[in-house]
Amino acid sequence: MSAAQIFSPSRFEFDRKLIEQLDGSGPRYTSYPTADRFGPAFGEADYLRVLSQRRIGANRKAISLYVHIPFCNTVCYYCGCNKIITKDKARADLYLDYLEKEIKLVTAAMGGREQLVQLHFGGGTPTFLSDAQLERLMGMLKAHFDFKPEGEYSIEIDPRKVGRETVFKLAALGFNRMSVGIQDFDPAVQQAVNRVQSEEETLAVIAAAREAGFKSVSVDLIYGLPLQTPASVAATLAKVIAISPDRVALYNYAHLPTVFMPQRRINEAELPSAEAKLDILQSSVKQLADAGYVFIGMDHFAKPEDDLSRALAEGRLQRNFQGYSTHADCDMIGLGVSSIGKVGASFVQSEKDIEQYYAALDGGHLPVMRGYMLDRDDILRRAIIQALMCRFSLSVSAIEEVYGINFRDYFAAELPQLEALQQLGLLSFDGDFIMVEPRGRFLIRNIAMVFDRHLRERKTQARYSKTI
């Protein structure tokens, strides 16, 4: 029996010594090349061209939409999102006016109505919008896109601002998945990061989602926040496991106060040490595994029957700007300020400043700030990194056949790094297959970085998060 036949992508091993040895920073690979490589050389004319190319037969498959809602009532100190702090709902009315302009420009460039298989509202806080504003936005989208019955339509929820009626309204509008921000249930931690959220609020929203017929509920947690300890996070996780969400995301808090201004309000002296963070992660992973959750990859866990778990087992797992997904192979259209899209062999990002976003649309232009057109080498490396991040294996012969290369010749510079990682037990490479070993699962970013030519050859001002 070959290594490929006995390989199981769901097996993992938390090798603490190895994780400490390979401690470092690196991209999360929600795209390749990563967003810090995007530039102004890719502009509106380029975006219009790739949108119009979707009219050509084979390119016209169902799409994914990401809609960025930047508004929040209050600031969470840990947050690194593009957001606007306000309590003025009228600002959202104006924003929806401009979103409607953008939707019309994008769909005109694509040549008409498109089939939609995935939708995600992110932010900011999407539920900053009132029920009437949410209904207006979904109406705008349904006027220009055909929602497929089997599609995934998700929204990020702040339980502090959402009641039972809104949850049922969201279900009536067509949403069938929700992501609930928890971060931590400990009151002292909540105070330290300015996000005070009761367990009752959270439970009420999740109970309403299940009653309203949502197919999936995921929760977001963060480890590495001020005042957290292994015991306190274990207590939060026990409460989360009792709630029994379909998916759990356990994110590593990256403290970058020079990049994200709200983080300057966090008392650095209260942050757990690197050793304590690893203690938290190690115990949390065991706690989730003991509760029956499947480790999907990086920071994602899911119940065995969840679509992500099935996609992992069947080799269909994908990765996009929202993390692990079952639909990331579609073209993704980003709508709203700072949103990122992927169309064909290109990436595009909209203006991050809302006034510049408005000004572009006032002039009848798509609000393109920067982007990137992949060359042949980028497409090859993207395929390899996607395979390693999502399937935790790579068929060398398949890559050679599809891309017309000799793997050992093309990646001669990478082979010594692969061999070093093989010596450490992170992967096995027999010339035909690269297999990520169980102890390499938590260090998958380190493995993927081997194939990142831009990381090796070009300097960047970006500051990446810790790989663990």
Is 76 one of the annotated binding-site residues?
Answer: yes
Tokens at residue 209, please?
A: 């989602």
Is 349 one of the annotated binding-site residues?
Answer: no
Across all residues in the chain, what is the average pLDDT?
92
Instruction: Render pLDDT for 231-288 as a digit per residue (tens, 0 to 9).
Output: 999 999 999 999 999 999 999 998 989 888 999 999 999 999 999 999 999 999 999 9
Would you state the pLDDT for residue 27?
87
Section 44-59 average pLDDT: 84
> Which band of pLDDT confidence, cut at 50, 70 and 90, is reported for residue 3?
very low
Would you state the pLDDT for residue 317?
87
Between CA 254 and CA 329 the distance in angstroms is 28
> Which band of pLDDT confidence, cut at 50, 70 and 90, is reported for residue 361?
very high
Is 123 one of the annotated binding-site residues?
Answer: yes
Would you state the pLDDT for residue 161?
83
Instruction: Render pLDDT for 197-216 as a digit per residue (tens, 0 to 9).
Output: 999 999 999 999 999 999 99
Q: Can you list the positions of beta strands (E) in 165-309?
A: 177-183, 216-223, 247-252, 294-297, 300-302
Is 195 one of the annotated binding-site residues?
Answer: yes
Is 81 one of the annotated binding-site residues?
Answer: no
Section 392-404 average pLDDT: 95
Is 425 one of the annotated binding-site residues?
Answer: no
Is 97 one of the annotated binding-site residues?
Answer: no
Name every residue whose Cβ is closer than 8 Å to that of residue 398 and which is 6 or more positions away in sequence: none
Residue 378: is its pLDDT beyond 50?
yes
Section 392-408 average pLDDT: 95
For Cα atoms 127, 128, 129, give the angle at the middle one, nearest 5 degrees: 80
Is 390 one of the annotated binding-site residues?
Answer: no
Would you state the pLDDT for residue 136?
98
Domains of the chain with bracketed CATH: 3-27+375-457 (1.10.10.920), 37-335 (3.80.30.20)
Between CA 229 and CA 16 the distance in angstroms is 18
Is 174 one of the annotated binding-site residues?
Answer: no
Section 285-308 average pLDDT: 94
Percentage of the chain lying above the pLDDT 90 cut = 79
Would you state the pLDDT for residue 59?
55
Is 156 one of the annotated binding-site residues?
Answer: yes
Residue 1: is its pLDDT beyond 50?
no
Would you state the pLDDT for residue 25?
80
Would you state the pLDDT for residue 460?
60
Percentage of the chain lying above the pLDDT 70 cut = 95
Residue 8: is its pLDDT beyond 80?
no
Section 125-150 average pLDDT: 96
> Which band of pLDDT confidence, cut at 50, 70 and 90, is reported for residue 11?
confident
Would you state the pLDDT for residue 7?
56
Is 246 one of the annotated binding-site residues?
Answer: no
For Cα atoms 121, 373, 466, give the angle at the middle one, nearest 5 degrees: 60
Task: Between 429 and 322, name the one with better pLDDT.
Answer: 429
Tokens at residue 148, please?
A: 């497929």
Residue 461: is its pLDDT beyond 70?
no
Contact 262, 82 (CB under 8 A): no
Would you state the pLDDT for residue 467?
60
> Which band of pLDDT confidence, cut at 50, 70 and 90, is reported for residue 462?
low
Whole-angstrom CA distances from 327 to 152, 173, 301, 311 are 9, 21, 17, 10
For the whole model, what pTM was predicted? 0.92
Name every residue whose Cβ is closer than 8 Å to that of residue 1 and which is 6 or more positions away in sequence: none
Residue 10: is its pLDDT beyond 80?
no
Between CA 175 and CA 345 the distance in angstroms is 29
Would you state the pLDDT for residue 211?
97
Would you state the pLDDT for residue 323?
79
> Which band of pLDDT confidence, cut at 50, 70 and 90, is reported for residue 5?
very low
Q: Number of C-alpha atoms within 13 angstroms, CB side, residue 464?
A: 21
Pairing state between β 63-69 and 332-335: parallel
Length of the chain: 468
Sort 44 into a burial class: Cβ within 10 Å, 0-12 / 13-18 / 19+: middle
